[in-house]
Amino acid sequence: MSKQELEVLGQDADCCSGVSAAPLDDERAAELAKVFKALGDPVRLRLLSMIASRGEGGETCVCELTPAFDLSQPTISHHLKLLRQAGLIDCERRGTWVYYWVLPSALDRLAAFLTTPTTAEAVA
């Protein structure tokens, strides 16, 4: 299969239009700005990376995240809350601990938005 014949499945054009496809409307711009703002902080970016590195279906206890930073547990929880509000991660409380996991569909939508046709062809 040639590069030109590759097709992305499971994504509709309305939700996953790339940055070069068309100008953003107000609603989509506000949605993406929320995500980029969440990722614009080095602590949150590291937290997302730590959670995502567990692999597909992997989850991380907040007790494993906190020692990696020179920040208080409430500050880490605040950063995790912002990542949740941006729709990048989700969590579940189990006893006294909270476990976090990445929402792959959110990362896929973000990647699809950032991918240009030239980028897709170069990767393939």
Q: Kindly state the percentage of the chain with pLDDT values over 90.
A: 52
pLDDT digits (tens, 9 = 90+) for 36-92: 999 999 999 999 999 999 866 789 999 999 999 999 999 999 999 999 999 999 999
pTM for the structure as a whole? 0.74
- Residue by residue, DSSP assigns 3-72 as GGG----S--HHHH--TTTSPPPHHHHHHHHHHHHHHTSHHHHHHHHHHHTT-TT--EEHHHHGGGSSS-
Mean pLDDT of the chain: 81
